[in-house]
Amino acid sequence: MANPNSTVDAVDDTDRRDFITVAAGAFAAIGLGPLVWPMLDQMNPDASALALGSVEIDLSPIAVGQAITIMWRGKPIFIRNRAEGEIQAAETTQISALPDRFARNENLSEDAPAVDRNRAGEGHENWLVVIGICTHLGCIPRGQRVGDSKGEFGGWFCPCHGSHYDTAGRIRKGPAPRNMEVPPYTFLSDTRIKIG
């Protein structure tokens, strides 16, 4: 487009051209965020995975002294209906005897101490719900089935490297550094819990 007054207009035009071009470039660049986001977000857990993110368990079939294992988010969950003796043993343990003093309970704050009431079910001290993965290197401890070794403390025993857990799922002896984790869960009723 020929412009006879090119010298004059070039000066005026420079600022406006730069602004428009910069504005166009900036506006186009803003679009990159919303363009890239779906490409990244699609790798996040999808709706069907999220729907399986929580599971409801009926506790009524579990007799006192019995334990069941269920899967939640791909991990084994130990649910034990503890007998009176098991609860006593856990409650009377001194904190000083524990290698890991923290409760590791996702329903409580990080610094809650590992006393039995911080490990057992809220208002339901006979119920213990823990993620059944040894905190050493990830094996699944034994102790859920009748006849399994429960270790020296009556809880669980990990055969891989010899970690012993007590009746509150806390590490007592062996290489595991932390107590078995308590997952986030709530009691929907006395006989029903929802994990996750």
Out of 5, 11, 33, 39, name the contact with other proteins by CB under 8 A.
39
Out of 48, 94, 96, 109, name the contact with other proteins by CB under 8 A.
48
Tokens of 45: 């857990």
Instruction: Please state, in angstroms and rounded to a whole number, the distance separating the CA atoms of residues 10 and 2.
Output: 12
Distance separating the N- and C-terminal Cα atoms of the chain: 67
> Any alpha helices (H) in the chain, and if so which ranges?
6-30, 32-41, 47-51, 84-91
Among the residue ranges 44-52, 111-119, 131-139, 188-196, the one whose residues contact other proteins (CB under 8 A): 44-52
Among the residue ranges 31-39, 93-101, 109-117, 128-136, the one whose residues contact other proteins (CB under 8 A): 31-39
Please tell me whether residue 194 binds other proteins under the rule CB under 8 A: no
Please tell me whether residue 7 binds other proteins under the rule CB under 8 A: no
Burial letters 174-185, b for 16+ CB under 10 A, else e:
bebeebbbbbeb
Among the residue ranges 25-33, 102-110, 118-126, 161-169, the one whose residues contact other proteins (CB under 8 A): 25-33
3-state DSSP assignment of residue 13? helix
Please tell me whether residue 60 binds other proteins under the rule CB under 8 A: no
**Residues involved in catalysis:** 161
